Amino acid sequence: MNKEPIIEVENLTTRYGDTTILENVSFRVSRGEIFMLLGASGCGKSTLLKHLNGLLRPSSGRIIVNGTDITAADEDTMREVQKTIGVLFQADALFSSMTIFENIALPLYEYTDLTPGMIDRIVKMKLALVNLPGYENHMPSELSGGMRKRAALARAMALDPLLLFFDEPWAGLDPVTAAELDILIRSINTAMGTTMVIVTQELASIFGLAQRVIMLDKSVRGIIAQGDPTELKEHSQDLKVINYFNRKATGGD
Amino acid sequence: MGLNGRASPIQYNSTRFKDLFLTHGLSLIYILYYKPQTPSLFGEIMKAPPVKKKEYSLRVEDREPGDVILFVSGRIALDDLNDFTSDARSILQNKPLKKLMVDIAGVNYLDSAGTLALFQLEEEQTARSASVTFHGVTDEAKGILNLLDKKAHHIPPLVPERKPPNILEQMGEATRLLLNDFFEVLSFVGELILALISSLRRPRSMRWNDVLYYMKRAGVDGLPIVGLISILMGLIMAFMSSLQLKQFGANIYVASLVAIAMVKELGPIMTAILVAGRSGSAFAAEIGTMIVNDEVNALKAMGFEPIQFLAVPKLLATIIVVPLLTLYADLFAILGGLVVGVVGLDLTAYSYIQETREGIAVFDIVASLVKSGVFAGLIAGIGCQRGFQVHEGAESVGTFTTSAVVSAIFLIIIADSAFAIILNYVR
């Protein structure tokens, strides 16, 4: 794995009104890494993910994505950065009025000058990659939850992004489909070297996939642990980390 | 200047052109060419697109006649897909090929689009009866070559592409939808009336807090816009009619004209259209979004009747507030007319109000309130019904929200026509 950082977060602080969600958070994600953001509900994982993919701007601090400081980027620079980013949202976010083909082809038509024939080939190849061959003319409503997730992943990968962000990709999937998604994520990461940043609570996938994790906590408004998840589970002294990885109740906080 | 000191049309036009040129033309020239700090707009528009530097290179080496090695190096990615495909095609097109070795040892970046370019090269040259093999495949490249399905574009779609229906199919579908819609509306009206009766028989089962909430949303929150539009309508009607009536010395009749027009027709109709736009659409969007989010199913699963729970409070609230809003609209329109009468027509406020009182009868006001109540029922009913028709997705919510407003306005006009005839006989 390449140790060169693709994301650098420095002293990120974010506030909603008077409430501070994250304070002085700093970490790095290496190129080609499968990196996960963990923590209890409401600790700011999804907020942090939205900062990393440019959907939110922090109150202070810097986020450098692939060499560009996106906290200071203008609209054009941000658009260039976002072309190198793919996002898979928790609720798949496929456009319900478009077919699966149109959903995946949309960024290709908008951002490239490829011929319709070439776009057709790319879309079909992406569909085969996510194990949905032949589904190009289906509407999103005609697919199951797991199939929609995979179609959304194909759309997120349409422009061959350097970075893929996932927000709770396993939420609502049955164990078999979740395991299939694990295999898909791993094979894309291995074959294409795409960096993956994943927000999740799915312990099996955390231990199966993550090369490095950070764990956020509401009480400190930041990171309480980071590193290899198996090592954290075995060696962490922090009760919250131990309880999280061992799926133990804390008795409320 | 032309004859009699008037500007001749020709001179007027040329002066105007000169003025326009001096004011706008020179500014434009200034912006396009002379604005020193920013780049010239004209220059930006006319600038040729930047020539993209190719990040790959192709080299052909003939080993024997018909046996060729194509050396590929550099970066092959989505941005280079068109160029790479056409360059590879042109470099090989004049060569008699039996055997093509594609050496990709020099490729330092390959994404899925780049891989597709290699697959396409293989497919095209195989179609020319050449045997194509890849060499110098690194482990990274092997991973992506194995991951992607080179025959993916040959997989037929599971369902055929949707084609737009022809005119006959469209007419048939429209008729079917219209009939379906008619029966659905009938069925909904029946259910809504039953739910309303049931709620009124057991008032404690009614969600009165919701009724108050929707009374505020549909009524109180609508006061500013209804007031503003009504006062402006009163002003406009009084002003326009005064231009004609003044010629006959009939200024005083402006008061009765505004009062009769507003109370009998425009007040109820205009208020209803505003409520349809503000609240009818909101009802449809709210219920539609609840359906999309499974909230309506949650109600059903908990044993609640969605129509009674969601539609009845909205219906009752609207029926209560729309007649009140209509009265308010009438008053503001009369006030607008009064301003024109007093300021522009030298009428006294007392005489204007007296004429207004004489112009309208109690029967007209009661009829107007009854009409408004019926319009309110139509707006809330169709708004909720369209909301319940939403099946899934954002598009469906948008479609039925629009339909709620259009259908409500259509039904209001139909009902108003019916009232015009009925009231003529009742009176």
For residue B105, the domain's CATH number is 3.30.750.24
Hey, of A94, A100, A121, A135, which one would you mutate to test binding to chain B, going by the most B CBs within 10 A of its CB?
A: A121
pLDDT over 90 (residue B237) = yes
Same domain (yes/no): B241, B371: yes
Min Cα separation B276/chain A (Å): 26
- Look at residue A59 and tell me if it is in a domain: yes
Same domain (yes/no): B28, B60: no
Question: What is the model's pLDDT at position A2?
Answer: 54
The residues pairing with B41 across neighbouring beta strands, listed in sequence order, are none
**What value does the mean pLDDT of chain B take?**
85
Question: What is the model's pLDDT at position A250?
Answer: 67
Q: What does the pLDDT look like over A168-188, one tens digit per residue?
A: 999 888 888 889 889 999 999
pLDDT over 90 (residue A251) = no
Question: What is the model's pLDDT at position B42?
Answer: 44
- Look at residue B162 and tell me if it is in a domain: no
Question: What is the model's pLDDT at position B383?
Answer: 96
- Look at residue A233 and tell me if it is in a domain: yes
pLDDT over 90 (residue B391) = no
Hey, of A99, A101, A112, A118, which one would you mutate to test binding to chain B, going by the most B CBs within 10 A of its CB?
A: A118
Dihedral angle sign, alpha carbons of residues B255, B260, B266, B272: positive
Locate A246 and state its tokens: 């061992």
- Look at residue B181 and tell me if it is in a domain: no
Closest C-alpha among B422, B401, B405, B419 to residue B267: B419
Cβ–Cβ under 8 Å, residues B199 and B208: no
- Mean pLDDT across A109-114: 89
Question: What is the model's pLDDT at position B371?
Answer: 95
Same domain (yes/no): B273, B410: yes
Q: What does the pLDDT look like over B43-74, one tens digit per residue?
A: 444 445 555 678 888 888 888 888 889 999 99
Task: Mark yes or no for CB contact A187/B148 under 8 Å.
Answer: no
A141 contact residues in B (CB cutoff 8 A): 392-393
Please count the structural domains in chain A.
1
Same domain (yes/no): B394, B330: yes
Helix (H) or strand (E) holding A232: helix A229-235
Q: pLDDT over 70 for what percent of chain A?
A: 98
Q: What does the pLDDT look like over B146-197, one tens digit per residue?
A: 888 888 888 889 988 888 889 999 999 999 999 998 999 999 999 999 998 9
Task: Mark yes or no for CB contact B393/A129 under 8 Å.
Answer: no
Residue B25: pLDDT band (50, 70, 90) is low
B156 contact residues in A (CB cutoff 8 A): 134
Same domain (yes/no): B102, B137: yes
Same domain (yes/no): B234, B351: yes
pLDDT over 50 (residue B34) = no
Question: What is the model's pLDDT at position B41?
Answer: 45
Q: Select the residue of B146, B148, B158 nearest A134 (Cβ to Cβ).
A: B158
Question: What is the model's pLDDT at position B388?
Answer: 94
B409 contact partners, CB below 8 Å, separation of at least 6 = B273, B276
Q: Which residue, B151, B172, B201, sits at the end of a domain?
A: B151
Between the ranges A71-75, A94-98, B216-220, where is the mean pLDDT highest?
B216-220
Q: What does the pLDDT look like over B260-310, one tens digit per residue?
A: 999 999 999 999 999 999 999 999 999 999 998 889 988 888 888 899 999
> Rounded to whole angstroms, how far apart are CA atoms A231 and A241?
11
- Look at residue A112 and tell me if it is in a domain: no
**Chain A with chain B: Cβ pairs closer than 8 A:** 91
- Look at residue A164 and tell me if it is in a domain: no
Question: What is the model's pLDDT at position A92?
Answer: 87
- Look at residue B80 and tell me if it is in a domain: yes
pLDDT over 70 (residue B236) = yes
- Look at residue A236 and tell me if it is in a domain: yes
Q: Is B180 exposed, middle or buried (0-12, 13-18, 19+ CB in 10 A)?
A: exposed
- Look at residue B172 and tell me if it is in a domain: no
- Look at residue B397 and tell me if it is in a domain: yes
Domain with B138 in it: 56-151
**A137 close contact with B: CB closer than 8 A:** yes
Question: What is the model's pLDDT at position B151?
Answer: 84
A99 contact residues in B (CB cutoff 8 A): 162
Dihedral angle sign, alpha carbons of residues B85, B86, B90, B91: negative
Question: What is the model's pLDDT at position B40?
Answer: 44
Question: What is the model's pLDDT at position B38?
Answer: 44
Question: What is the model's pLDDT at position B199?
Answer: 87
Min Cα separation B28/chain A (Å): 26
- Mean pLDDT across B15-38: 48
Cα three-residue angle B303-B387-B168, rounded to 5 degrees: 125
B113 contact residues in A (CB cutoff 8 A): 122, 160
- Mean pLDDT across B33-48: 45
A86 contact residues in B (CB cutoff 8 A): none
Domain with A30 in it: 1-83+195-253
Q: Which residue of B has its CA nearest to A154?
A: B112
Same domain (yes/no): B342, B229: yes
B84 contact residues in A (CB cutoff 8 A): none
Task: Mark yes or no for CB contact A96/B140 under 8 Å.
Answer: no
Same domain (yes/no): B238, B91: no
Q: Select the residue of B77, B120, B155 nearest A128 (Cβ to Cβ).
A: B155
Same domain (yes/no): B90, B114: yes
Hey, of B44, B51, B78, which one would you mutate to test binding to chain A, going by the most A CBs within 10 A of its CB?
A: B78
Task: Mark yes or no for CB contact B82/A193 under 8 Å.
Answer: no
- Look at residue A28 and tell me if it is in a domain: yes
- Look at residue A248 and tell me if it is in a domain: yes
**B51 close contact with A: CB closer than 8 A:** no
> Rounded to whole angstroms, how far apart are CA atoms B166 and B388?
30
Q: Which residue, B99, B121, B151, sits at the end of a domain?
A: B151
Please count the structural domains in chain B.
3
Question: What is the model's pLDDT at position B311?
Answer: 94
Same domain (yes/no): B198, B299: yes
- Look at residue B171 and tell me if it is in a domain: no
CATH of the domain at A224: 3.40.50.300
Q: Which residue has the higher pLDDT, B17 or B422?
A: B422
Question: What is the model's pLDDT at position B24?
Answer: 52
Q: What does the pLDDT look like over A15-72, one tens digit per residue?
A: 988 889 999 999 999 999 999 999 988 899 999 999 999 889 999 999 999 999 999 8
- Look at residue B23 and tell me if it is in a domain: yes
Same domain (yes/no): B219, B76: no
- Look at residue B179 and tell me if it is in a domain: no
DSSP letter for each residue of A59-90: SEEEEEETTEETTS--HHHHHHHHHTEEEE-T
Q: Is A186 exposed, middle or buried (0-12, 13-18, 19+ CB in 10 A)?
A: middle
Same domain (yes/no): B365, B255: yes
B117 contact residues in A (CB cutoff 8 A): none
Q: What does the pLDDT look like over B346-369, one tens digit per residue?
A: 889 999 999 999 989 999 999 999
- Look at residue A218 and tell me if it is in a domain: yes
Q: Select the residue of A113, A124, A160 nearest B111 (Cβ to Cβ).
A: A160
**B152 close contact with A: CB closer than 8 A:** yes
